[in-house]
């Protein structure tokens, strides 16, 4: 891996949580970091802390301004911003649209805008914060599960298509991470944020290690590989197991409202 000293890095959704940890970690390695968040005060606070550049705004349309801020080149783009709405097919259309916009289409747009320059230079690195939900599922949230599967599929497609042309792609797939993301996910969040939950700094460590090792799939929780393997090799058993968790959640919610 090339040195991170002076590397031009963009992290979306970096005002808190995993994105903020990534921004801090890249800055600590000597990178020049653009800190994006749709909450300007969050982007400003993290940028001030790490000596980076705040870029408030929607991650879905951030690349031109990021290129401007970095003098026309991005070395590493971290498509990290994400939202986790709860619900199934009854979830309002606009909520489905937002999940697909932020969790998937922001990645597609960024790649569309960055690839021409990267292919010309023969170099570029795309880090997608996906989720273990992209390899398995997320109880209680169909828009999250579906958009994260799609984000993983897109990252894989990029890797398959451009690996031989100097483009490196990483898909980061953590399980529970202690951030503000799941405050709206009620019961399902408790199931994810079990004792296996880790801090955002551990995700950032795993990302740096994954970049160093040149790995596509970065699993801050190694057991996620076993869960994904079980899903493929014994899909019926895997579905039964997850459904038991779903039933447990329903029982608990019933007791809580009784």
Ligand X SMILES: NC(=O)c1ccc[n+]([C@@H]2O[C@H](COP(=O)([O-])OP(=O)(O)OC[C@H]3O[C@@H](n4cnc5c(N)ncnc54)[C@H](O)[C@@H]3O)[C@@H](O)[C@H]2O)c1
Question: Is 162 assigned a catalytic role?
Answer: no
Give the whole-angstrom CA distance, residue 148 versus residue 104: 7
State how far the Cα of 134 lies from the Cα of 151, in Å rounded to an integer.
Answer: 7
State in angstroms the smallest separation of the CB of 181 from ligand X. Answer: 3
| Interface mask toward ligand X for 97-126; x: CB under 6 A | -----x------------------------
Task: Please compute, for residue 132, the number of CA atoms within 13 A of its CA located in the half-sphere on the CB side.
Answer: 23
The residue within the footprint of ligand X, chosen from 7, 47, 75, 131 (CB under 6 A), is 131
85 forms part of the interface with ligand X (CB under 6 A): no
Task: For residue 170, give the H/E element and its range.
Answer: strand 167-172
75 is an interface residue for ligand X by CB under 6 A: no
- Of 145-174, which residues contact ligand X (CB under 6 A)? 174
Q: Which of residues 204-243 bind ligand X (CB under 6 A)?
A: none
Q: Does residue 141 touch ligand X according to CB under 6 A?
A: no
- Residues 6 or more apart from 251 whose CB is under 8 A from it? none
Contacting residue, 9, 18, 110, 167, with ligand X by CB under 6 A: 18
Q: Which of 26, 118, 126, 144 is catalytic?
A: 144
Could you tell me the end-to-end alpha-carbon distance of the chain, in angstroms, rounded to an integer?
56
Is the Cβ of residue 15 or residue 124 nearer to ligand X in the bound state? 15
For the chain, where are the alpha helices, taking DSSP H only?
17-28, 40-50, 63-69, 93-100, 106-121, 142-162, 186-192, 200-213, 223-233, 235-257
Nearer to ligand X, 123 or 205 (CB): 205
As annotated, the active-site residues are 144
């Amino acid at each position: 891996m090339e040195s991170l000293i002076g590397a031009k890095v963009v992290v979306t959704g970096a005002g808190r949580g995993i994105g903020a940890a990534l921004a801090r970690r890249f800055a600590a390695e000597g990178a020049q970091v653009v800190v994006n968040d749709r909450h300007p005060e969050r982007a400003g606070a993290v940028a001030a802390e790490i000596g980076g550049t705040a870029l408030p705004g929607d991650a879905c349309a951030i690349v031109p301004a990021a290129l401007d801020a970095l003098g026309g080149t991005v070395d590493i783009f971290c498509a990290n911003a994400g939202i986790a709405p709860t619900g199934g097919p009854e979830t309002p259309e606009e909520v489905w649209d937002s999940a697909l916009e932020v969790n998937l289409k922001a990645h597609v747009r960024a790649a569309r805008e960055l690839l021409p320059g990267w292919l010309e230079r023969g170099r570029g690195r795309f880090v997608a914060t996906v989720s273990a939900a992209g390899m398995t599922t997320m109880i209680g949230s169909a828009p999250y599960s579906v958009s994260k599967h799609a984000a993983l599929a897109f990252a894989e497609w990029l890797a398959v298509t451009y690996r031989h042309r100097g483009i490196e792609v990483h898909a980061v797939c953590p399980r529970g991470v202690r951030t503000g993301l799941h405050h709206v996910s009620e019961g399902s969040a408790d199931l994810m944020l079990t004792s296996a939950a880790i801090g955002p700094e551990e995700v950032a460590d795993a990302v740096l290690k994954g970049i160093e090792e040149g790995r596509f799939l970065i699993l801050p929780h190694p057991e996620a590989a076993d869960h994904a393997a079980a899903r493929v090799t014994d899909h019926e058993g895997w579905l039964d197991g997850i459904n038991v968790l779903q039933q447990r959640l329903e029982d608990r919610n019933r007791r809580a409202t009784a």
